[in-house]
Amino acid sequence: MSVTLHPSDALAGLPPKKTLSAPHHSTAATRRRIAPRAPLFGQQADAAAPATGRRARATLARLRKVNEQLLQATLLAQRGQRQAELALNRQTQLMAVVAHELRNPLMTLCTTATLLPRVAADKIARLLEIIERQTGRMSRVIGDLLDVSRVNAGKLRLEFGDVDIADVVEDSLVTCRHAMARHTQTLRLELPSPPGSIRGDAVRLTQILSNLLGNASKYTPAGGEIALVVQRMPDAMVFTVEDNGIGISPRALLEVFDPFVQEQHAVKFNGVGLGLGLAVVRELAEAHGGSVEASSAGLGQGSRFVLRIPIRDGRRWTEAS
Ligand SMILES: Nc1ncnc2c1ncn2[C@@H]1O[C@H](COP(=O)(O)OP(=O)(O)OP(=O)(O)O)[C@@H](O)[C@H]1O
Ligand SMILES: [Mg+2]
């Protein structure tokens, strides 16, 4: 008795299939017994060969497919890991920037606190002004960070009501006037007469305008000019904030409303800030169903921001008395 390997099994790499061949020394009876079986056995083998081949090819195809899937899964996992590493790096950098942004005013506050008990009475007002400015700066940074995370979590809520345009403009100028005065900048203000009102969230509209006016002052050299022009259009209230400051490059114009974007020359001119103000402005404008656009003729050519807040319901728009 000998053991042979079926050719199709060898090809398919399957374990050898044992087949029996008739011994040469078999008796006639045995031959008779075997003889009828021999052709039968041969037929079975011949018939089984294509089936075994098909099975082997199917197994191979399945193996190839599984292999491809494994490869794809590995590539996906590698890409996911790279993205996670990038996100972690970005997060760490942001933490450092935020810490820096908060540490500076905090240090000024600490110094002011140690000076307060020792300074002459006539200097106290000046120190209080510093405290007010630095706490304002810290709460703005924290407020912007909270707003961005609210937007990301879809939790930004507005409280709509009738908003008096004159009040919003006045409130938004409260903080900016100091900055403009410090930089001896002049402000031109144009309001419709009468200014009237729109439907919106008064606090958030004030926040938008303070951000735009704050930037105008921040990125305009001393002695520069800033303008806030409010126009009543048939379907929207349009607020234009313009300055003759450092301007914005055409490339940066496409990105300035994205979070954490700051142009290099702007950071050199005034390194304070996180690059969050305009991101919050855009979200708040859109939450009002409005829009905000930036334009500039280029570096050193000043900047212009146009905010449009729709007047949704004509009947709700009221003339101020
Ligand atoms: N009036 C402007 N003139 C020139 N560049 C501006 C002006 N306003 C915004 N930019 C550019 O857009 C970038 C983003 O502005 P944004 O207000 O979001 O951030 P920031 O002022 O740098 O910091 P933050 O507002 O968080 O304190 C600025 O860093 C600056 O490069
Ligand atoms: Mg800003």
Mean predicted confidence (pLDDT) in 92-111: 89
Tell me which architecture the domain covering 80-152 has in CATH. Orthogonal Bundle (1.10)
Q: What is the pLDDT of residue 90?
A: 83
Question: Ligand 1, closest atom to CA 243?
Answer: 1
Q: What is the pLDDT of residue 72?
A: 96
21 confidence band (pLDDT: 50, 70, 90): very low
Q: What is the pLDDT of residue 8?
A: 43
Read out DSSP for 91-128? HHHHHHHHHHHHHHHHHHHHHHHHHTTTS-HHHHHHHH
Read out DSSP for 153-169? TT------EEEEHHHHH
Asked whether 210 and 263 are in contact (CB, 8 A), the reply is: no
Mean predicted confidence (pLDDT) in 232-256: 96
The answer to which of 28-32, 243-247, 271-275 has the lowest mean pLDDT is 28-32
Ligand nearest the Cα atom of residue 147: 1
What b/e string do you get for 41-78 counting C-beta neighbours within 10 Å, with b at 16 or more?
A: eeeeeeeeeeebeeebeeeeeeeeeeeeeeeeeeeeee
Q: What is the pLDDT of residue 94?
A: 83
d(CA 91, CA 96): 9
Residue nearest to atom 9 of ligand 1 (CA): 215
- Which residues surround ligand 1 with Cβ inside 6 Å? 144, 215-216, 218-219, 243, 245-248, 256, 261-263, 266, 273-279, 303
Q: What is the pLDDT of residue 284?
A: 95
Distance (Å) from CA 309 to ligand 2 centroid: 20
Distance (Å) from CA 48 to ligand 2 centroid: 79
Closest CA to 218 of 173, 176, 155, 254: 176
312 confidence band (pLDDT: 50, 70, 90): confident
**pTM of the complete model beyond 0.75:** no
pLDDT at 244 over 60: yes
First to last CA, the chain: 116
Regarding predicted confidence, which is higher, 66 or 101?
Answer: 66
pLDDT at 22 over 70: no
Q: What is the pLDDT of residue 97?
A: 84
Distance (Å) from CA 320 to ligand 1 centroid: 33
308 confidence band (pLDDT: 50, 70, 90): very high
CATH number of 161-316: 3.30.565.10
Q: What is the pLDDT of residue 215?
A: 97
The answer to which of 8-17, 41-50, 182-191, 238-247 has the lowest mean pLDDT is 8-17
Mean predicted confidence (pLDDT) in 49-57: 88
User: For 253-283, how does the pLDDT look when each residue is reduced to its tens digit (9 = 90+)?
Assistant: 999 999 989 999 999 999 888 899 999 999 9
Whole-number average pLDDT of the chain: 85
Closest CA to 21 of 7, 38, 45, 36: 38
Ligand nearest the Cα atom of residue 273: 1
